[in-house]
Amino acid sequence: MTPRPDDAIDAEPADAHALRALHNGTASPEQQKRALGWILTRGCEVGGMPWWPSDRETAFALGRLFVGKQIGRLLICDLKSLRRPSNETPTDSSKP
């Protein structure tokens, strides 16, 4: 049976450890790369084909791909293009 785009995604224990370490802010450089690699290739299926038999499955796969494309865009964008408008104040990222 072919997996659907909304099925649980396979991961190895090392992937889960890397993602948890990334979340906790304790990831080594290798774990950071592994976590981001898993997010992009497995979680978002960047590089995959987003077309599925049903419109619902295709829409779901395209949503995943969109997230991956936005992450990829932020990895290579000109940081000056991300400036806040002058009327916005910075927020404390340590607060929820």
Structure tokens that stand for 17 in this block: 């450890």
> Mind listing the pLDDT tens digit for each residue in 6-49?
888 889 999 999 999 999 999 999 999 999 999 999 999 998 88
Q: Give the per-residue pLDDT at 9.
A: 86
Q: Give the per-residue pLDDT at 39.
A: 96
Q: Give the per-residue pLDDT at 7.
A: 84
In SS3 terms, the chain reads as: CCCCCCCCCCCCHHHHHHHHHHHHCCCCHHHHHHHHHHHHHHHCCCCCCCCCCCHHHHHHHHHHHHHHHHHHHHHHCCHHHHCCCCCCCCCCCCCC
